Amino acid sequence: MAKKVIGLVGETGSGKDTFCNIAKKQFSSVLLPRFSEPLSEALGLFFDEIKKEDQQWLASALRDRFGEDILMKSIAKKIEKADEEIIILNGIRVKEEFDFIKSLGGVIVYIALDPRARWERVRERKEKKDDNVSYEEFVKIDKGRPETQIKNLGEEADITIKNDKSIEDLEKKAIQLIENVNE
């Protein structure tokens, strides 16, 4: 059976992780690598709490030094070793990652949600130390270099999911999409 490869692009708090959790719950053979994984792993060596701002800085530093595709290279190693049938790459931030997924025959999914709703969701989840910031600070962080390309990449995506309803609505859309990839 051919692997189903799905790349998720979306601003912080749009629902990418929820999409992945739905996939993991509904399907038995799912690999969920994230482009930010190597950043979190590296920062975790030095800090107990990881900030989005630090991830952005490290991503920029690595890309400046080693090229825009550096995070994609770490994910490529994981995919090569994967036995799973469904691979969902979460957190596309640059064109090279987008193109990489397309080169694998993957489908790009843009999960869209307005900034205020994203900010509210981020504050509720408390995943990173800097999640509990003012709306103005959230918008400022949202305009960081790695975040700026997301909207453009979303416009080039194969599919857009508007995540402005319930979790059940997202679940229905996610399951249908995954079942129909490469069909």
pLDDT in tens, 62-87: 999 999 888 888 888 888 888 999 99
Residue 23 tokens read as 């996939």
pLDDT at position 141 is 81
Residues pairing with 86 in the sheet: 4, 30
**Residue 1 pLDDT greater than 80, yes or no:** no
Q: How many independent structural domains does the chain possess?
A: 1
Please state the separation of Cα 153 from the chain's center in Å. 12
Give the CATH number for residue 56. 3.40.50.300
Mean pLDDT of 155-180: 96
What is the pLDDT at residue 79?
A: 85
Q: What is the pLDDT of residues 6-53, one digit of tens each?
A: 999 999 899 999 999 999 999 999 999 888 888 999 999 999 999 888
Measured CA distances, 77 to 73, 81, 108 (Å): 7, 7, 20
Q: Which residues of 40-58 are buried (b: 16+ CB within 10 A; e: fewer)?
A: eeebeeeeeebebebbbbb
Write the pLDDT tens digit of every residue in 26-39: 999 999 988 888 89
User: pLDDT grade, residue 130 (50/70/90)?
Assistant: low
**Structural domain that includes position 54:** 4-180
